[in-house]
Every structure is written in C-alpha cells, then in structure tokens.
Amino acid sequence: MIKLKLKDGSVREIESAKSAAEIVKEIGMGLYKAACSVKINGEVKDLRTVVDSDCTFEVLTFDDVDGKKTFWHTASHIMAQAVKRLYPETLLSIGPAIDNGFYYDFDRETPFSEEELVAIEQEMKKIVKEGLELEQFELSPKEAIDYLKNQGEIYKVELCEEHAGKGEPISFYRQGEFTDLCAGPHLMTTAPVKAIKLTSCTGAYWRGNEKNKMLSRIYAVAFPKASQLEEYLTLVEEAKKRDHRKLGKQLGLFMMHEAGPGFPFFLPKGMILKNTLLGYWHELHERNGYQEISTPIILNRSLWETSGHWDHYKDNMYTTVIDEKDCAIKPMNCPGGVLVYQSEPRSYRDLPLRLGELGIVHRHEKSGQLHGLMRVRCFTQDDAHIFMTPDQIKDEIKGVARLIDEVYKLFGFTYHVELSTRPEDSMGSDEDWEMATDALRGALEELGLSYEVNEGDGAFYGPKIDFHLKDSIGRTWQCGTIQLDFQLPLRFGLEYNGADGEKHRPIMIHRVAFGSVERFIGILIEHYAGAFPLWLAPEQARIIPVSDKQNDYAQKVLERLKAEGIRATIDKRAEKMGWKIRQAQLEKIPYMLVIGDKEIEAGAVAVRSRKDGDLGTTEVGDLLSKLKKEIDDKSN
C-alpha cells in the first residue's frame, strides 16, 4: 500500500503506483477538471507524475499560487506556438510564468505591431480550441543540443549547453506540431486556457544583460473563465487610476529627477506623510520594548567581507575609497546592528535585546527595473535586529508577528503568511535548522495564524516568515518578514555570558514591518487612491471663505485648529466657492470648512467631509473634538 497524506491531514491509500491524474480523478472528477498540477512532498509536479511511494499530496488549482503558475506556463507555450505558426522565422528564448500572468521573449527583425499582437491572440484561441495534449519527453544532452541546432533555436541551444555538463536527461514538452525545451510542470492539454489577453510588448535584453541582443517580450494573462479575465481587466484599469507615480505628482508628495535616477525627492506634503508614518513607527516600537539606534551609511570593506556581502552582493553595492581603503555604502543595516551588539559585553540578563533602526540603504538596481517608489536605489528600511537565547525564539517570533499584525490591520490590509524552509545552498547544522523551523512553526500555530509552507525558499542563513498583504483592490504585496539567522552571529563571533557562567552564541532575528518605507508609502498611495485617512493626510482640513469678507474669521479658525495640532490651510484665492471645493476634493482633503456670514454669526463652520459629504454647521470646538478623536483613533 502507498500512503498519501492530503492537505487536510487525512491519509489516502492506493494499492500500486499511479499517475497523479488518476489519483485526483479518484478523489473527484470535479477536482480533476479544476486541477492544474500537484505538490508532492512540497515540490510542484505535473499531473503526469507517477506516484510510487509514500508522500504528502496536494492538488493545486488556479486558486493556488503554484497552480496559477502551471496554468500560465502552459499559456506561454501556447503563445510561442502561435508565434511560430504565424511567423516561423522568429526565434524562441524563454517564457516563464510571473506574478501577474506570463511573458515570452522572441528574437525577430522588427518588434511586434499592434495588428500582429491581435493575430497572435486569435491564433492562441485556436490552439486552445484544438485541445492539444501536452506530452513530456527527455533527450540526452547531445541529442537535445543537436535537435535544437537543427531547429536553429540558438537561445535554447545556449541554455541546453549550460546544463549538458551535468549529464542528466533534458526535458521537452510537445503539443501538436510545437516542441519546446522545458522542465514543466504543465497542464494536461491546452483546452483549459479559455480566456487570453495580450497586454503589452516591450524590449528586453537576452538574460537581462544590456550587452546582449534586445528581444521582443510579449506580456499576457490567461484565465479558466472569461468572467475572471473581465474582473482582472477591471482591476488593471482601477490600478491605473491609483498609480502612485501619477497621484504622487498630482498631490505634491514626491518627484523623480534625471539628476538622480532611482533616488526619490520627497516634497513638503510627502515629508509630512513620511514623518507621520515614522512617528507611528517610533510609538509602536517604544511600546514593544525596542531601543532605537542609527548606524553609519559608509563602512569599510573588511566589515562587508566578514558579513559576506562583499563576496555575494558586491554588484549591487556602491563603493568608494576613503583614506586609501575600500568602503561601501550600506545596502543593508544588519552588520551595523551587529557592531552595536558587540560594543559591550552582554549577559543572558540583557537578552532579548531588540534594536530598531530606520536606516537609509543604497542598492544598485538596473535602470529598467526602477519604478516610482516601488523600486528605487535609495530607501529607508525599518529594520530591527533582535538578539536572544535559543529558548526565547518562539516568544520573540510571536511578539514580532503581533506587531506586524497591528501595523497591517491599522491600514486595513488583510494578509497571508508563508513559512519558508531550508534551501539547498544553506549554511549551518541540521540541528540548528530543525530547531529554528520548529520555533517559527510553533509560534505561528500558537498565534492561530494559518500559513503556507514554502519549501526550500528560506534564506541561506535561516528559515523565515513572510507576510503578504492584500490591498483594497485585491493586489498582493510582500512587505513584512521575520528571518532567523545563526550565521551572522557566528561570522562576527557574537557572545553572551550564560547563567552557567559560560560563553554562548546568541541567535539573531532580522525583521521589517513596512519593509522599504518609500515602497510602503507607494503602496499606501495606491491602497487609499491618495485619499489618506485623517491622521495620515498631509493636509487634514481646508478652510474656504465664501469671499474676502470672511478672511479674518477664517484666519482665527485656522489659528485655533493649528494650536490643537490640526494640519490646515485657507484658500483665499479669488475664485468661486464651488471651484474651491472641487479643488479641495481633487487634492483629496479629508475636511472642507466653508465660512460665510451665517457661520461667523454662529461662531461655527459649515463642514463638508470627503467621505460623507455635507455634515452641516458645527461649532469650532465641537469640530475640534471630532477631528482629534478621529486622529487619536487612527480611523480608516
């Protein structure tokens, strides 16, 4: 008997080896029709895979991240087949699934036109209707290279030659007349790919290297149902309206300049937003027992060699020479935090030691990858490094998870959690990894947080927990992370005096909540579509006098609001009141306070809310109480 442990914890037995497809059919035909692939012992596999020994067995549908990737990977092959049918002289390179669909890179004389993209999409739909079965087969490295050379596929040959030295068979997939070099996994047939949309065509260097040839990259997305595609396209249109680059300019929050590509400039209103966010960060961390530090931006080469960054991250680091010594601008804060720990003897009584830092870091991102505040070369990382004893791991993980949960709930984000386990190229002993992974898993279970296991995706120095937040229009962002590290304390020889009088090595947690503060602000701009809650809004209220006659009273109201810490301005422009209100609405001001003669007589203001419209006339004192409560509650 072969035992299969299913996702719900139940065990299913099969008498002899069977394909995953046969097993899923036995579980239920409805599930089989929805299945894209399976996960066997944590590894994503084809439904063609034969199961011949005890294992964990999970069926993946389009609702699962890995199921989507299988679906989209097959769709990328359908795209390549359509291109080869229509333009057989075109050469193929790679076509992976990505977070929001898939792409394929092609080599041809001229970029694809809009008309050609339409033709490719139509041909893809024909291939789907043909319901072609996908067949996997393997060739020896020599056979694979000879086959691809005969096809003239020079990019595939290059990929094949890189793997030939391993001597392992090389995998291909065939569908109809089309064959592609590919390790899979794939759908069983082309039929499930019902709804397809080619979204754009751009240039992309082969293997991302600007020294190589520029290829044509077609981006696309596909779904099992037309309704899902319609929902996605609606989401894309909504996302365009919320684009933080457009809103950042419109609302006067930040700017980019050719004088410093990838280095954002925060404008006065943007600085208010950023400082308000950081003010919350300080309050949160003080409340949770963190001590704030600040470490230098430039440190010498020997430090980065000890930490391992000089060998493994140098291409992304900015370097300089000071007093004839190599130095680097820090890409990460952790080595500085380690030096602070090392600055004095430590005892077990000092632990856990929680050190928080809003550290400015610099990383050399390629120009083609820069994107507003989301991908920059200089940003503020809200780091914390916690040094602790082994028996403190679980409680510290729980404390960090609670802190991150508080942050995300404040802004109205929901999230899911992933536990990433030991990768193949890891460092450290089996015992350390087992203890660390069990501690992370135990903390999540004691908190009652459901999580997915991401096998083999931990950092080389330890397992980690990632928090993937979902914004108001359903997009997912990876921001918060908790990483356990045994290696940096080892590399730097960190110690503490234990209760037994002996020297011991602490364990280290790397942790961020916002991640990059700049990126988090970009996410918030899009999450709120620029309409920030009152406590976060750069301008909280705008006073709008009907005419110049009310300016003196308006000034007194302004002074009273400012005295209570309300961020307010007066619009004294010689324009009609309706125009001023529309401008305030375009600038997404939470409250508009209109003042005419009646309001002056009553010692009040006419209040208009961005969210709720006209709220009527209110005494200034009552208004202040309302605004201060909303700010103190940090209401959304």
Would you please indicate which residues are annotated as catalytic (active-site) residues?
Answer: 334, 363, 381, 383, 385, 464, 510
Phi-psi region of 211 (alpha: psi -120 to 50; beta: other; left: phi over 0): alpha
For residue 440, give the 3-state DSSP assignment.
helix
Instruction: Name the one residue in this structure whose structure tokens are 């020079």.
Output: 154
Q: How far apart are CA 516 and CA 533, in angstroms?
A: 21
Amino acid making up residue 288:
N
The three state secondary structure string of 74-129 is: HHHHHHHHHHHHHCCCCEECCCCEECCEEEEEEECCCCCCHHHHHHHHHHHHHHHH
Q: How far apart are CA 510 and CA 464, in angstroms?
A: 9
Beta bridge partners of 321: 326
User: What string of DSSP letters covers 457-509?
Assistant: -SBTTB-EEEEEEE-TTS-EEEEEEEEEESHHHHHTT--EE-TTSSEE--EEE
Bridge-based pairing of strands 97-98 and 101-107 is antiparallel
**Contacts with 575 (C-beta within 8 Å, 6 or more apart), sequence order:** none
For residue 529, give the 3-state DSSP assignment.
coil
**Contacts with 148 (C-beta within 8 Å, 6 or more apart), sequence order:** 156, 157, 160, 181
Half-sphere exposure of 144 (CA within 13 A, CB side): 27
Q: How far apart are CA 320 and CA 261, in angstroms?
A: 19
Amino acid making up residue 442:
G
Considering Cα of 294, then 297, then 303, then 304, what sign does the dihedral take?
positive
Query: How are the residues of the chain apportioned to helix, strand and coil, as percentages rounded to the nearest 5?
Result: 40, 30, 30
For residue 282, give the 3-state DSSP assignment.
helix
Terminal Cα-to-Cα distance of the chain (whole angstroms): 56
Angle, helices 551-563 vs 620-632, to 10°: value is 40
Question: Residue 352: is the preceding peptide bond cis (ω within 30°)?
Answer: yes
Q: How far apart are CA 318 and CA 263, in angstroms?
A: 13
DSSP 49: P
Instruction: Name the one residue in this structure whose structure tokens are 């050399």.
Output: 364
Considering Cα of 72, then 78, then 82, then 87, what sign does the dihedral take?
positive
**Contacts with 602 (C-beta within 8 Å, 6 or more apart), sequence order:** 617, 619
Half-sphere exposure of 331 (CA within 13 A, CB side): 22
